[in-house]
Amino acid sequence: MTTKRIIGFVLLAAAALFGLADVWHTYVPAYGQDTITMGRLWLLVSARSLSAAETMIERHLWAPIWEFGFSPLLVAPAWSFFSVLGGLFIAFGRPKVADNA
């Protein structure tokens, strides 16, 4: 098994855990948690870097990159982002097939 496939399986496991957390918060809303989005996850990890990235992209680069590129990713559920990324790692991490012909 290649390193890329291992990373892919770890990302898929994280996606499953985020999906289970979303299901839990749907059926047990007593804790007052909303769905776990990528923006909320980034905010929990480092709020300053989120603000700095937004400021840098909007001021120094082209402002619609933030609006149409990053904003849709930030409102996406965390489980969908990690599952797509894990699937890509697994797909591109397959070992090469040797030609025996």
Residue in this structure with the two tokens 């804790």, named with its chain if needed: 31
- Which of the pair, 3 or 26, is modelled with greater confidence? 3
30 pLDDT exceeds 80? no
Q: How far apart are the first and last CA of the chain?
A: 24
Q: What is the pTM of this model?
A: 0.77
Residue 66: pLDDT band by 50, 70, 90 thresholds?
confident
